[in-house]
Copies of this chain bind each other. A is one copy, B any other.
Amino acid sequence: MFFSIDQNSAIPIYEQIIRQVKFAIADGTLAGGQMLPSVRQLSRDIALNPNTIARAYRELQSQQILKPLRGRGMIVRRDALDACLDARNELVIANVRAALADAFSGGMSSGQLREIFEQALLDLEPNAAHTNSSQRPSGGEPSDE
């Protein structure tokens, strides 16, 4: 599976699962209508208590991301993509703002912050082809309907 769980993180495991399901939908790894691994299957795969998986699925269901198929499991709702893109964007924006607010409250300058940001981008960017332009088009979701 595509889950990577950090047992030591301060973020509860069920939250990590919720987030990773949403992000997988946001980036297209999981598409509408697709089936999720069963609670039992997944609990074996990633060695977690089934209760923890079940809790994550339950919350994703109540957030209208997943839909239960009676007796068969959970599928991704056809209309889940927008909610997942929004969730992703909100989370990322909140993270960035929190990091900046922390930095300013400790007296750091925006110059130092830009350096840190660019360095982190260099280190982490998946397709490492870094360009200096900050005017690239904003992205937008390709329509694959």
A residues near B (Cβ < 8 Å) are: 7, 10, 13, 19-20, 22-23, 26-28, 70, 88-89, 91-93, 95-118, 120-121, 123-126, 128, 130, 132, 134, 136-139
B116 touches A96 (CB 8 A): yes
Assembled-state Cα–Cα distance A4/B49 (Å): 32
Assembled-state Cα–Cα distance A138/B119 (Å): 13
A96 touches B99 (CB 8 A): yes
Q: Which residue of B lies closest to A87 (CB)?
A: B106
21 A-B pairs with C-beta separation under 8 A: A7-B70, A10-B10, A19-B102, A20-B105, A26-B107, A27-B106, A88-B107, A91-B102, A93-B120, A95-B98, A96-B116, A96-B120, A98-B99, A100-B124, A109-B136, A110-B125, A110-B136, A111-B136, A112-B139, A114-B136, A115-B134
